[in-house]
Amino acid sequence: MSTHHRLQNIALRHSKTARAQASPVRWSRRARRPQLATRNVREPFAPPEDWYEPRDARNGYRIVVQQPGEGYIHVVTPEQVRQRLAMLPAEFLTGLDVVQFSRMTRKKQSFPCYGMQWGSTLYLYPLEESLEEWFTVPPRPEVLNEARMYGGVWDQPNPGSWRLTWSRPAIEDFYLNNILIHELGHLLDDRNSGYVDRERYAEWFAIKYGYQASGGAAARRPKAEVRRRHHAK
Residue 14 domain-assigned? Answer: no
User: Are the C-beta atoms of 65 and 79 separated by less than 8 Å?
Assistant: no
Provide the whole-model pTM.
Answer: 0.79
Distance CA 5, CA 30 (A): 7
Tell me the mean pLDDT in the region 185-213: 96
Residue 159 domain-assigned? Answer: yes
Number of domains in the chain: 1
Environment class of residue 105 by beta-carbon count within 10 Å: exposed (0-12), middle (13-18) or buried (19+)? Answer: exposed
Amino acid residing at 98? V
Distance CA 28, CA 6 (A): 6
Residue 4 domain-assigned? Answer: no
Confidence of residue 133 (pLDDT cuts 50, 70, 90): very high
Residue 16 domain-assigned? Answer: no
Residue 21 domain-assigned? Answer: no
Q: What is the pLDDT of residue 46?
A: 58
Q: Which residues contact 132 (CB under 8 A, 6 or more apart)?
A: 16, 163, 164, 165, 166
Q: What is the pLDDT of residue 107?
A: 78
SS3 state at 116: strand
Residue 18 domain-assigned? Answer: no
Task: For residue range 150-164, list pLDDT tens digits in order.
Answer: 999 999 999 989 999
Residue 101 domain-assigned? Answer: yes
Distance CA 199, CA 43 (A): 24
Q: Given a cut of 60, is residue 20 above it in pLDDT? A: no
User: Are the C-beta atoms of 24 and 136 separated by less than 8 Å?
Assistant: no
Q: What is the pLDDT of residue 139?
A: 87
Confidence of residue 35 (pLDDT cuts 50, 70, 90): very low
Q: Given a cut of 90, is residue 113 above it in pLDDT? A: no
Q: What is the pLDDT of residue 23?
A: 31
Confidence of residue 47 (pLDDT cuts 50, 70, 90): low
* Burial letters 54-69, b for 16+ CB under 10 A, else e: eeeeeeebebeeeebb
Q: What is the pLDDT of residue 33?
A: 40
* Domain range for 118: 48-220
Tell me the mean pLDDT in the region 112-128: 93
Tell me the mean pLDDT in the region 86-93: 97
Tell me the mean pLDDT in the region 45-57: 78
- Inter-axis angle of helices 78-85 and 180-188, nearest 10: 50
* Burial letters 185-216, b for 16+ CB under 10 A, else e: bbbbbeeeeebeebbbbbbebbbebbbeebee
SS3 state at 92: helix
Residue 102 domain-assigned? Answer: yes
